[in-house]
A and B are shown apart, each in its own frame.
Chain A
């Protein structure tokens, strides 16, 4: 099935009217961002939306490296963190010197913080791609994260650098005290950054980044130095990561060493990959899902990281194109009008697959809570981790669910093959 996926990822050219749909999608996104807090106005949702917005900017910046240029970084949070610190210092400087710089301009300084470090460190880092780059990024990430605890004057040690966003000059009467105003500030920068990063993919540099990703050797024989291409891409990624860090600094009114650590770097890699690196909107989906899961799961279970791991492994193994890849593989079927032949087999597969998932969850929670902990509450049904009934239920769900689910997955594969063959015959699939 995975091979079918990769071969269907691109389809026939857009017909006329594509540009209307293109602007429509962007307009819709902006409208959703404006309307969202009106539909969900609780403090909790506003906080979640703000975090998701920051995560999207961060993940999109990461995809400039991973998806566009083929650079696997384990230290992208360095730019995010330094952007956060730069923003905090700038905010404090604005307050103490009385500069007329209102809060909405602060993320720009966050971006510059991320950019400056990228400009300094990037030339050496991007000399090679692949494993060499990945290892250096890991090293730099650890170096900066540990330095942040040592260099107290800049990073504030364990406590970090705190700031007060409301102390900055007001803009149009907005103090940015209430979370709603912060949300709109983040949404504004999200739109601005997303448009800029999308536009970047449509420039000569953006296309050559793709070429460097696909084949750095050949790029040299069409006149380009892959090192320079990687370096410029790295600087852009650093800038937008810094913008995200600046937004985080505004949101939390603090920057500390956790901003630039390995966990943050891992999380952005995770979001981007789960969302899908091959499409621009992939990291957006990934950032939404991962942030949402992170916020939701942490309150439900103590072993939420285990679930992250399982999801990640599942995506890597069965859908390397991420969520975006999964969605986009349906496009040729929609065009060929054969999607409806696949839907029934999806619906049939849902039941055993959900049963299997419930069994896995029950097993994990039983192990996690066996020696103490709250009783398990699985979608409203209570289970006792020490009861054999729970163990038996878990075993039946896992074994039975897996057995039946496998049959239904085969049905999907068959239905998919038939639909794809028709789509290929009709010329919607290469």
Chain B
């Protein structure tokens, strides 16, 4: 997969990134390269800095030093909406939707910037055909059409997770980052979510943080292992499975 789509520049290039909170270094000398079109999973024990890595790439927090590039352009130091406008979109580990707005409104809001309507206060939002079509398409994709008029806060947990994915992909971003999309789901729900992710990120670059190893090894083209804020190994699932450092630091301990 990665060989087929990859270009010359990587979709995401993280180089020598460090993040300190006071004297505590959460992320040390982080290097990560994700090729275009690749499905890349980041795994690691709890507290390894996986979510912090997501936050650093998506602009939620700024790195103390080092640089992050998106399709070759420097994005470290930019604010989240600036990075999002350049084609990177992320979901959150804890469901982070617009609770009082309906499912339809949630997805539509995520479509508006990408369709060029920005801060427009002179257009009727209900009569924008391309917005309506795209919103309907995404609702169909995430199987929530029948719940379109329900406030997002009243959805079931699994539905909220699906909506979370829907909002993330709605802008049509070419780089999609999902933070534990299947956390807290049952087996059946996880299977559903994985096939959903597989289908919706077709042809896009995907970076995923995941605890469920069957999801990781089933979905990812490449895997990076993060331990104490440092990537100790990066490679194909087969390489990661065989890597002695990974076995020692992570897989061995938890006996996967």
Partner of A12, one of B80, B113, B149, B170: B149
B171 touches A218 (CB 8 A): no
Chain B's nearest CB lies how many Å from the CB of A217?
Answer: 7
B105 contacts which chain A residues (CB < 8 A)? 207, 210-211
A211 touches B124 (CB 8 A): no
B96 contacts which chain A residues (CB < 8 A)? 215, 217-218
B117 contacts which chain A residues (CB < 8 A)? 204
B185 contacts which chain A residues (CB < 8 A)? none
B118 contacts which chain A residues (CB < 8 A)? 204
Partner of B109, one of A12, A200, A211, A220: A211
The segment from B31-39, B81-89, B223-231 that touches chain A is B81-89
A214 touches B99 (CB 8 A): yes
Q: In the complex, what distance in Å separates the CA atom of A215 from the CA atom of B163?
A: 15
Q: In the complex, what distance in Å separates the CA atom of A199 from the CA atom of B126?
A: 11
B148 lies within 8 A of chain A by Cβ: yes
A236 contacts which chain B residues (CB < 8 A)? 121
Q: Report, as a range, how many residues of chain B touch the other chain.
A: 35 or more
Q: Report the number of A-B residue pairs with Cβ-Cβ less than 8 Å.
A: 112
B120 touches A203 (CB 8 A): yes
A10 lies within 8 A of chain B by Cβ: yes
A203 contacts which chain B residues (CB < 8 A)? 120-125
A379 lies within 8 A of chain B by Cβ: no
A206 lies within 8 A of chain B by Cβ: yes
A222 touches B120 (CB 8 A): no
A23 lies within 8 A of chain B by Cβ: no
Cβ contacts A331-375/B at 8 Å (1 or 0 each): 000000000000000000000000000000000000000000000
A413 lies within 8 A of chain B by Cβ: no
Give residues 117-148 of B contacting A (CB, 8 Å). 117-126, 128, 148
A380 contacts which chain B residues (CB < 8 A)? none
The segment from A73-81, A131-139, A225-233 that touches chain B is A225-233
Chain A's nearest CB lies how many Å from the CB of B171?
Answer: 6
A221 contacts which chain B residues (CB < 8 A)? 58, 80-81, 84, 89-90, 168
Cβ contacts A182-222/B at 8 Å (1 or 0 each): 00000000000000000110111111101101110111111
A430 lies within 8 A of chain B by Cβ: yes
B102 contacts which chain A residues (CB < 8 A)? 10
Partner of A204, one of B85, B101, B112, B150: B112
Chain B's nearest CB lies how many Å from the CB of A265?
Answer: 25
Given A210-B105, A232-B121: A222 in contact with B148 (beta carbons within 8 A): no
Partner of B84, one of A217, A223, A430: A223
B98 touches A215 (CB 8 A): yes
Partner of B100, one of A208, A210, A225, A228: A210
Residue of A nearest to B105 (CB): A207
B98 touches A204 (CB 8 A): no
Cβ contacts B64-88/A at 8 Å (1 or 0 each): 0000000000000001110011000
Q: Which residues of A contact B (CB under 8 A)?
A: 7, 9-13, 199-200, 202-208, 210-211, 213-215, 217-225, 228-229, 232, 236, 278, 430
Can you give 16 A-B contacts (C-beta < 8 A)? A13-B148, A204-B117, A204-B120, A205-B119, A205-B120, A206-B125, A211-B101, A213-B100, A214-B100, A217-B96, A218-B167, A220-B80, A221-B168, A222-B89, A278-B100, A430-B154
Going nearest first, the 4 A-B pairs with the smallest beta carbon separation are: A223-B113, A220-B80, A214-B98, A205-B121
